[in-house]
Structure 1
């Protein structure tokens, strides 16, 4: 899994360990775990009438364990167990990159490996962004992460034995890269090449500007690379674990927002607009998440904290408390929309989805 630090570490502790059973989901039944600020639920999306029940996050047997090391100076850290708990992995700020006159985007951190209790720390690589993410390889002997060296950002494989890190990416990036490690060891990444700035309008009135990174999406085995998308503002697409499909958000010539699902073996692409889920909505897609078998895709609807409906009174568009499913395994209809039954926020607005993923059938309550 991807190990995300700081904000994601806090989320991990907030989610807890969970009690959802890890047995395979029956072929005719599928569930989605959803968390908002109002609660945590499992919602059935296939195999019968939709059903929503309170649930804890799914437990995946291969997930590393997150532990707290209170004795690590200066204030203790949260770390991930590696090598069957014999050692831990965490990152710490590089002090000389912080302080008066230093910009936030210039802050850097280093990746540390240490004994199980945090003793004998050793830096594996320096130059990570302050808010970092890293993924342990399938053999458990290394981590894949993003770092800056000589003013250029790249994706690196960093062995736990202290050997020299290996740069996997060949395309330089002007900023931190988004990446996904596939189960066969290949890496898909988004190399930043520029910036797009445009006006920010709310209800037809320009209130400022917004900037988006422009970049290239590349697939690499560490030796050769294949450009999947030459230029995009959508960031890193979502990939199936085997790298056979990718999904990204795009815009048609007529300005409609669509999810584009591409079969990377045939290069065949399908487009699914917001209107395929609800004809009255004018909003953006949010997060995307493939089902583990690659035969379905979860989508959320969002436009940050901005009211997403062009017309209509507050509290704004109820789209943010819905999610959709795109069926890719031959099932019809191809799309389905699901609403989360929950109280509204204290100010009357609809709570949006903070986290969601495919899960198994929730364990019954005692």
Structure 2
């Protein structure tokens, strides 16, 4: 197997995160035990809702699964016949409104998750902008069952009025779901919009086994869990995932947020300082665009995108294989996320960048 240093963040193709020994041990112990899964779900609901400040919660396989199951909940509710019929909506309202700027691709189109539930997609606004009026116009179309919003650094704009959009849907009696997959440190902000449910990944920055968390109203979580005997059957969480979520939650509760942020700032400052000695690049600290409490390192290659691409190729080809964020590569920029990395790994990344740059220098 290829050894990897992951400076690309909570990136699914690299396994997302590294669990602590305690979380891994809890999951391993669960694998050797039997449970009444409904009791585990009830315990998870109690602990997650207490920590997050919502009425109820549930665990599913991942946020991609949670989107499908949440949309199914908006179509079928708790009606057993309707649940069993999906993805055939049988004439029920099944249109999901989503801003065009929120139709992100996490490795596949988010709209695929919507359609898997038997829903159709109504895109509000355009590729570069979405106003509250655009959302209201879409919500007024016939057959709307849900408004889906996305909080992610991958959305093309970050200034959409989330509270206003939620309010517009609620005035029309339309439930609202927010996909906040990588936003588990902003749950309070997202719930504060008034959405019926917020979906986050437990396996990203909480570093649990793979699991999606559904946090919201008691009524919505009941409808969500009703889908477990329908389309949600293929999306069920494992026992070790639920137990691992509970262990990861304990660690998050014990964490000192201020000290954690200071440590992240220290790592970023160290990396920027070390990269400052590398000719041909300009490194700066950059805050997360949607408000997660850490910075990333922005590395701009002064000779442009071709040099940046070659460096990225060389980083991946090395041992260990080093992966970085490439979404700005066409601009000659890479991003380094250091949250999961040790100081030694950060130094290895910087040395590899230095070596890759030196290999391109004229001789």
Question: Do both proteins adopt the same fold according to a TM-score greater than 0.5, normalized to the shorter chain?
Answer: no
TM-score, normalised to structure 2's length?
0.28
More helix by share: 2
- Identify the structure with bigger relative contact order (alpha carbons < 8 Å, sequence gap 6+): 2
Structure (1 or 2) with the greater strand fraction:
1
